[in-house]
Amino acid sequence: MTFPKAYIASEYEKNIYKLWEESGLFKADPNSSKPHFSMSMPPPNETGSLHMGHALFLTLQDIIARHQRQLGKDVLWLPGTDHAALPVNALMEQQLTEQGTNKHEIGREEFKKRTKEFVGNSRNQIISQMRAMGTSADWDKLRYTLDNTLNRCVNEVFFRMFNDDLIYRKYRIVNWDPKLETTVSDDEVEHKEETAPLYTLQYGPFQITTARPETKFGDKYVVMHPDDERYKQYKHDDTFEVEWLNGKVTAKVIKDEAVDMSFGTGVMTITPWHDKTDFEIAERHGLEKDQIIDFTGKLLPIAGKFSGENIEDARPKIVEKLDKLGLLIGVEDKPHNLAVNSRGKGVIEPQIMLQWFVDVNRPAVEWKGQKRSLKEVMRAVVEDGDIKIIPKRFEKIYFHWIDNLRDWCVSRQIWWGHQIPAWRKKGTDDDYVAFRNSTEAENKLGTKNIERDPDTLDTWFSSALWTWSTLIDKVYYEGDKDHEPHRRDNLESLLERSIDFDKYHPTTVMETGYDILFFWVARMILATTYTLRSAGLDEEKSLPFKTVYLHGLVRTEEGRKMSKSDPDSIIDPMEVIPEFGTDALRLALVAGTTAGTDQRVGKSKILANRNFANKLWNIARYIQETVGNNRGEPAPKSLADHWILNLLSISSEAVKKALANFKFHEAYEILYHFVWDDLADWYIEASKTEPNREVLNHVLETTLKIAHPFAPFVTETIWQNLEFEGLLAAQLWPEAADFDHTKAKQFDELKNIISEARRITVAVGVNKPTLLYAKSGLIEQNKELVKRLGRLGDVVEAAKPRGMRLVGAKNDAWLDIDPQIVKAYLANLKVAQKEQERFVKLLESRLSNKAYMQKAPDELVEQTENELRQAKKQLDTISNQLKSMS
C-alpha cells in the first residue's frame, strides 16, 4: 500500500474501527486465564449528543482500556447509556404541550411508550458517536439504566432497604420544583446569587425582614434568640394580637437558637411549610405548619383574595397591600441566594410532602465487624484506603459532603424512570409496602386489587447500582416471559450465576468527572456496599471500584464553560473529527489534562496535535519508501542505532510508568518528544547516512505500539499500510531491544558537536563552514554524518587548531571560520563564559558548604562533584578559545 503525503484521517477511521470491532478484540472474556481488568463507562444521556466532556472521558478510558490490553489483561470496558429521567421527562412534556395535549390526557402507559420511541432513536446516535471516538468498549455488553435487568436490581435494592428500615416514607420538607412538578434531592439544588428587595415589616411590636412577603399570610410565630437582651421581656410561649395581612391573628413568641441576633432586628416570623430552617424550628417546638403555596406555584385560599395567583404576580400586590396597611417599614435591595433546580432551572419551592427517603444514619450495614450506617461505610471505605480517589484532595471534599449529608429523598413525581416498587390495597390510605414485583405484592397483600405508588425513583438511585447490576447476566431477566422462573430468584442467586460479576467486580477503575463525585461516585459506594454486603458478599467484593480517577471540565480557549445557552462557546467533537481526525482531538484532550483540574481546549491545540499524527504518518512513510517493511531482529550497527534503541527503551518505560500512575498528560509528553525530537529529528536524519532496515522497522513498530493507546487510528492505519501482522490494537506492550550503552553515549557526543556547529554557523552567518578535528576516532568515523547533520562544507582532520573552537564538545574540533567573522561571535562566547563562571561558583559554594556535604545524600554530592569537574573543563575551553581570539 502507498502512503499519501499527508495523513487524511477521515479516509481511514471508519474502516479501521470496523476492523477492530469485527476482530472481536474489544470483547471481554470472563473465562480467560489472563488477569481481569474492568471499568464501567459513565453512561451518557441517551438523548444528548456527544460533547467535549464525553470526548474527554472516552479518550482517557480508551487509553486505559487499550493499555491494559497491551499489558496482557482481559479487559472489560462496559458501555452504557442513561435514561436521564428528569431532562427526558421535561422534554417529552414540552413536546406534548406543543401537540396540544399533556401527560395526564394520554396516560402513563402511552407516555412511557412515546418516550421509549423517542429516546430509542437518539440512543443509536450517541452510540455511533462514541464509536467515532475510537471507543474500544465491549458493545455486546451495552447496558441501559432503564433496562429490565437494572429494573430488577433497583426493585431488589429498594425492597431490601425497605425491610432494613433504611427506606421510609414520611412527611418531610423537600425541594419542590413547581415547574417540573417534582421533588429534587439536596444535591440537585443550585444556589444562584441575585439581588432582591428585602422588606422590613411591622409585626405587632416587632420589626421583621423578609424577601418573600407572599409567604407571610399564615405567620403566627415570632422567633428570637433566647439570649437576645433586647427582647428579654418577652417569654417563650407569650402570645399577643397582631394586625396582619388578612386581619387579626394571635401570635406566639418562640425562643430558638437558630436565630442570628446580628441579622436585622434579630426577630423573624416563620413559614415552616416553605422553609427548611423554619420547618426545623417548628419541629423543635411542635408548632403548626400551614401550606401557603400549592404545588404549581400558586397561592392557596389562606392568601384571601390573592388565592390562585402565581407568586411572582402576587408579590408586588401583596407588598402594596402591606404598605396600605401601614405594615411596610422599608425596602432595601440585598444579595440573596435563590435556590434553583440544577436540571430544569426551575425555582425551588420547599414544601412539606409525603416522600420516600433513604436513611443515611441508621446503622444497618455489617462492615468490618461493625454495624454501620450508610454514611459511616461511605466514609470508611475511603478512609481505610479500600477506595482510592485521584487526586487525593477530593477525599477531603468527599468527607465534607458525607458529614453534611441528610437523608436522601429518592421519590420523584415524574413518569420516566424506575417506578417505585411499593404497593397497597387499592383505594386505601394504607402505607405502601415494598415488594420485588407485583406478583409478590398480590400474594403478600392477599388481593389482586392493588395499586402501586405512582412515583419514580431519582435517576441516581439506579445509576448507583451501575457497576454491579451491569454484570448480572441479562439472560436471567431480559424478556421476563421466557425466563419467568428466574424472576422470583433472589439477588444472591442472580449474582452467583453471573460469571461477569464473579470475574469483574469490584471494577478496577472508575474514571469520571469531579462534578459528579457526589451524585454518582458517592452513591455507587453507598448502594453497592450496602446491597452486596446484605447479599452476603465480603467487604472486598462489595466495593464498586478500587480506584476513582476524577478528571476536570473541558472549557473553551477563553476559559469559559461550554454551555448550550452560548452556542459559540461550544466546540463540537463531531465537527472536529471529520476536519482534523479523532486522534488529533484525543491528543489535544490528553495534552491538557491533569487529574481534577479543568482544561482549555481550542482549535489551535487540536491543530498542533493533528500535526503530531501527521508526523507519525510521515515517519512511517519515509521508512516504507526507503527500506520497506523489513522486519527481523534489530541488529544495531551505527552509534545512532544504539542511541535510539536506548531512548526507545527509556521512553517506553517512562510512558508505561506514567500511565500506571494515571499521568496521562505526562505519558503523552514523553511519547511526543521521543517521536518528534529523538526519532524524527535525530535518528531518522542520522540514519540517512547509514540506514539500518531492521532497526528502523523495529523502532517504528515499537513506537506505533506505544503511541497506539493515545492515537489509535493513525497508528493502526500505518500498521495496516505497512502490512505488519494482525492488528496493532491486539499487540502487547513492547519489550526493549539490546544495545550498547557506550555507543549510545558516543552518539550524544556527536549530537553535541553537530548542535554547536549549527549554532555557531547560524550565529555568525556563514554558509557551510568546514569542521576541523584533532585526531579523533569518533568524528573521523562519522564524518559523513557530522557533515550532513551539521550542515557543514566538509569535515577534515587538522594538524593545528584554527578558527572557532567548539566549546561544548569533549573532542577537539574547530569550525574553520575567518578570524574576523569569528570575532562577531565573541560577545556570545563572553556571555557563555560568564554563565559558566556563575555555574562553577554555584557548584563550588555548594560543595564547600559543610552542612550540604553532611546532610545531602551522597549520590547528590557525587553528582555535584562530577558536574563541577565538567563545568570547569568547559569553562577552560571557553576561556582558551577567548584567549586565542584576542
Partner RNA sequence: GGGCAAUUAGCUCAACGGCUAGAGCGCUUGAUUCACAUUCAAGAGGUUGCAGGUUCAAAUCCUACAUUGCCCACCA
Q: Does 97 bind RNA (CB under 7 A)?
A: no
Window of 394-402, 461-469, 505-513, 533-541 that interacts with RNA by CB under 7 A: 394-402
Site for RNA in 267-296 (CB under 7 A): 267-268, 275-277
Site for RNA in 533-562 (CB under 7 A): 559
Q: Does 848 bind RNA (CB under 7 A)?
A: no
Choice from 396, 426, 745, 775 touching RNA (CB under 7 A): 396
Site for RNA in 106-165 (CB under 7 A): none
CA distance 87 to 47: 9
Interaction mask 629-668, RNA, x per CB under 7 A:
----------------------------------x-xx--
Size of the site for RNA (CB under 7 A): 87
Site for RNA in 569-598 (CB under 7 A): 592, 594, 597-598
Nearest CB to RNA, comparing residues 824 and 856 = 856
Choice from 207, 618, 720, 776 touching RNA (CB under 7 A): 618
In 44-148, the DSSP E strands lie at: 74-78, 80-81, 143-144
- Three-state DSSP state, 287: coil
Nearest CB to RNA, comparing residues 225 and 412 = 225
Choice from 101, 124, 246, 337 touching RNA (CB under 7 A): 337
Choice from 113, 657, 745, 838 touching RNA (CB under 7 A): 838
What's the min distance (Å) between Cβ of 476 and RNA?
A: 37
b (16+ CB within 10 A) / e for 841-868 = eebeebeeeeeeeeeeeeeebeebeebb
Site for RNA in 498-537 (CB under 7 A): 518
Q: Does 388 bind RNA (CB under 7 A)?
A: no
Q: Does 227 bind RNA (CB under 7 A)?
A: no
Nearest CB to RNA, comparing residues 501 and 519 = 519
Burial of 267: CB neighbours in 10 Å, binned 0-12, 13-18, 19+:
buried
CB neighbours of 244 closer than 8 A, spacing ≥ 6?
203, 216, 219, 327
Nearest CB to RNA, comparing residues 449 and 866 = 866
Site for RNA in 860-879 (CB under 7 A): 860, 867, 871
Q: Does 604 bind RNA (CB under 7 A)?
A: yes
Element (H, E) at 687: helix 685-687
Nearest CB to RNA, comparing residues 63 and 532 = 63
Closest CA to 521 of 470, 468, 460, 472: 460
Q: Does 763 bind RNA (CB under 7 A)?
A: yes
Choice from 136, 155, 209, 341 touching RNA (CB under 7 A): 209
Q: Does 186 bind RNA (CB under 7 A)?
A: yes
What's the min distance (Å) between Cβ of 489 and RNA?
A: 39
What's the min distance (Å) between Cβ of 805 and RNA?
A: 16
Q: Does 253 bind RNA (CB under 7 A)?
A: no
Residues 37, 75 contacting (CB under 8 angstroms) = yes
Q: How long a stretch of residues is the chain?
A: 886
CB neighbours of 652 closer than 8 A, spacing ≥ 6?
702, 706, 733, 734, 736
What's the min distance (Å) between Cβ of 540 and RNA?
A: 29
Cis peptide before 391 (omega within 30 of 0): yes
CA distance 610 to 712: 13
Amino acid identity for residue 26 in this structure: F
Whose cell is 473553551? That residue is 556
Q: Does 331 bind RNA (CB under 7 A)?
A: no
Q: Does 397 bind RNA (CB under 7 A)?
A: yes
What's the min distance (Å) between Cβ of 611 and RNA?
A: 4
CB neighbours of 83 closer than 8 A, spacing ≥ 6?
46, 119, 144, 145, 146, 416, 417, 459, 462
What's the min distance (Å) between Cβ of 144 and RNA?
A: 27
- Helix residue ranges per DSSP H, 424-522: 438-445, 459-463, 466-469, 484-487, 491-497, 499-504
Site for RNA in 402-421 (CB under 7 A): 404
Choice from 207, 437, 720, 755 touching RNA (CB under 7 A): 755
Element (H, E) at 37: strand 36-40
Residue 176 backbone dihedrals phi, psi, to 5 degrees: -110, 130
Nearest CB to RNA, comparing residues 801 and 808 = 808
Residues 394, 595 contacting (CB under 8 angstroms) = no
Nearest CB to RNA, comparing residues 162 and 199 = 199
Closest CA to 459 of 523, 399, 377: 523
Q: Does 258 bind RNA (CB under 7 A)?
A: yes
Nearest CB to RNA, comparing residues 774 and 868 = 868
Closest CA to 23 of 674, 652, 651, 731: 731
Interaction mask 808-837, RNA, x per CB under 7 A:
---------------------------xx-
CA 226 to chain centre: 48
Nearest CB to RNA, comparing residues 80 and 592 = 592
Q: Does 207 bind RNA (CB under 7 A)?
A: no
What's the min distance (Å) between Cβ of 530 and RNA?
A: 22
Residues 286, 297 contacting (CB under 8 angstroms) = no
Closest CA to 83 of 460, 411, 342, 454: 460
Nearest CB to RNA, comparing residues 425 and 810 = 810
CB neighbours of 165 closer than 8 A, spacing ≥ 6?
359, 362, 364
Q: Does 6 bind RNA (CB under 7 A)?
A: yes
Nearest CB to RNA, comparing residues 453 and 685 = 685
